[in-house]
Amino acid sequence: MAVGAVLQGLSFFPRGGSAHVVRYLTAALLQYGWNPRILAGSLGDPGELGHAATFFAGLPVSAADFTPALDAWRRGEDPLDQPVPLHASYEDKPDAPDRIFAAVSPELAVRQVDSWRRLLLELAPLDPQVLHLHHLTPLHDAAEEVFPEVPLVTHLHGTELLMLEQIEQFSSAKGIELPASWRHAGYWVNRLRATAQRSGRILAVSTDHAARTVRVLGVPEDRVIVIPNGVDTEHFRRLDFSTRERLALLSHWLVDDPRGWDESGREGSIRYSSADLSAFTDSNGTRPVLLYVGRFTAVVKRLPLLLRAYARVRSRLGPVAPLIIWGGHPGEWEGQHPYSVVTRERIDGVFFVGWRDHDDLRLGLGCADLLVAPSVGEAFGSVYLEAMSAGLPVVATRTGGPPTFLNLDERSPEGWLIPPDDEDALVEVLVTALRCPNERRARADAAHALVRRGYSWQAVADKVTDVYEAVRRT
């Protein structure tokens, strides 16, 4: 097999699922003999989670440092109008420095391209055989200018489609106008569609995601390849913690090193005492633990719905199972802040651990008994597979990626699928799961077995390599 250099481009600083995909896929491609290099944004100092060299430790990486742009924003300047501008976002978050693409002018888009072009010119000696660029961003334009003859693979992760679908919905709804700040929405619809149509291949993470890609971006169906995300099955393995071990970890995350945050956006602004940990035990030992993992974005995640459903479960069953909220990048949320929902509606038993890395997440899954993520339109949902690999059954909705891999064999379900935005259904599933520990464990065993059979990163890299070879021949 002929292999060579491949440039894995991610224009955002590491903070979401796509960054984990880049990290695991790059490591797997190295095993195939490819010479991959990661090009990514970076934020903060070495040791911080948003710092590219820290996040991608052990892998070849070149980074655009967004830290000065963020410092400029704190001084009241525009972070997207800097020598190395901060990236834009696909989400409209209140008071966030990375405003939504739809609110970014064409002039500032040019600044984004120029910044990436300068960094790419430094990588010219790499002589890449394939450009593998994640999401749809101005990095595409810069890469195509510097490497015009190199075949391009675009890897979509869902958030770009959500923004375009939102714009489409606003445009088609009678009497509803786009938000005033989205005055450049039409420009970005045309630009991102054109970027996608120039791609030799587009990778989608599920059949649902592929169909949406064809419809929203207007690309030929035969150019879209479905390759599900993988799981590090060794890292996310079953952990059989004792009650003492669970409590020690929970004490570290919630009491000793709290990182949960309220609307101030400050890590550690939500704090707990040792006495609060009594919610995790009863006379029989450790209570079952419900776990949510993800960002605090409203369009997909539906976290307020989960919190309200959980309150109803407690009203029926009592304090039988605490709920851990894991994630939420500091200062980043859409719609109702989940901690504000908890405090305003006086929902007991909810614990916020904040944003933590995959080493902690592996341990966090070991402290839980059921993953609950009622997201709607999730392109794939790697966290479901990570939880299943760790031996947890999952609760998801019948939308987006989860129905393409979950409960396909009704004789051996791996979790529960509910209708989207159905709070009543979510309440009933949680009550059933908590009342029937044997059923919960059976689904956990099925989940663990499914992931171990067919979702390794090596299998993903094998499929991606086939795409590289195909696009190089065209």
CB atoms under 10 Å from CB of 127, counted, come to 11
Q: What is the DSSP letter of 212?
A: H
Residue 349: per-residue pLDDT: 97
Quick check: 427 pLDDT over 90?
yes
273 class by beta-carbon count within 10 Å (0-12 exposed, 13-18 middle, 19+ buried): exposed
Quick check: 1 pLDDT over 50?
no
Residue 175: per-residue pLDDT: 64
CATH code 3.40.50.2000 for 5-230+456-473: yes
Residue 269: per-residue pLDDT: 96
Q: Which residue has the tokens 């500091």?
A: 330
Closest by CA to 304, choosing from 429, 425, 421, 432, is: 421
Task: Provide the token pair at 250.
Answer: 């929970």
Residue 106: per-residue pLDDT: 97
Q: What is the DSSP letter of 182?
A: -
Residue 367 binned pLDDT confidence (cut-offs 50, 70, 90): very high
Residue 414: per-residue pLDDT: 94
What CATH number does the domain located at 243-454 have? 3.40.50.2000
Quick check: 301 pLDDT over 80?
yes
Query: Mean pLDDT throughout 211-222?
Result: 96
474 class by beta-carbon count within 10 Å (0-12 exposed, 13-18 middle, 19+ buried): exposed
44 class by beta-carbon count within 10 Å (0-12 exposed, 13-18 middle, 19+ buried): middle
Quick check: 80 pLDDT over 50?
yes
Query: From CA 18, how far away is CA 111, in angstroms rounded?
Result: 24
**Mean pLDDT in the chain?**
93
Query: From CA 85, how far away is CA 72, in angstroms rounded?
Result: 10
Query: From CA 263, how far away is CA 228, in angstroms rounded?
Result: 35
- Give domain limits for the chain: 5-230+456-473, 243-454
CB crowding 283-296: b at 16 or more within 10 Å, else e: eeebbebbbbbbbb
Query: Mean pLDDT throughout 330-349?
Result: 92
Quick check: 117 pLDDT over 60?
yes
Query: How is 344-389 classified by DSSP, letter by letter?
Result: HTT--SEEEEE---HHHHHHHHHT-SEEE---SS-S--HHHHHHHH
Per residue in 447-457, pLDDT tens?
A: 999 998 878 88
- Work out the angle at residue 389's Cα, subtended by the Cα atoms of residues 431 and 375, and round it to the nearest 5 degrees: 50
Residue 285 binned pLDDT confidence (cut-offs 50, 70, 90): confident
Which phi and psi angles does 45 have, rounded to 5°? -90, 165
Quick check: 2 pLDDT over 70?
no
Quick check: 316 pLDDT over 70?
yes
Q: Kindly compute the dihedral angle of the four CA atoms of residues 438, 441, 442, 446, in this order, to the nearest 10 degrees.
A: 170
Task: Provide the token pair at 402.
Answer: 């989860």
Question: 152-155 and 130-134 as β-strands: parallel, antiparallel, unpaired?
Answer: parallel
Point out which residues pair with 256 in neighbouring strands: none
Closest by CA to 292, choosing from 336, 332, 323, is: 323
Residue 202 binned pLDDT confidence (cut-offs 50, 70, 90): very high
Residue 118: per-residue pLDDT: 97
Quick check: 231 pLDDT over 70?
yes
Percent of the chain having pLDDT more than 70? 99
Closest by CA to 406, choosing from 422, 388, 379, is: 388
Contacts of 173 (CB under 8 A, 6+ apart): none
- Domains 5-230+456-473 and 243-454 equal at CATH topology level: yes
Amino acid at 23: R
Residue 404: per-residue pLDDT: 84
Query: Mean pLDDT throughout 94-115?
Result: 95
Query: Mean pLDDT throughout 139-154?
Result: 97
* 370 close to 390: Cβ distance less than 8 angstroms: no
Quick check: 310 pLDDT over 80?
yes
Q: What is the DSSP letter of 254?
A: I
CB atoms under 10 Å from CB of 256, counted, come to 9
CB atoms under 10 Å from CB of 181, counted, come to 13
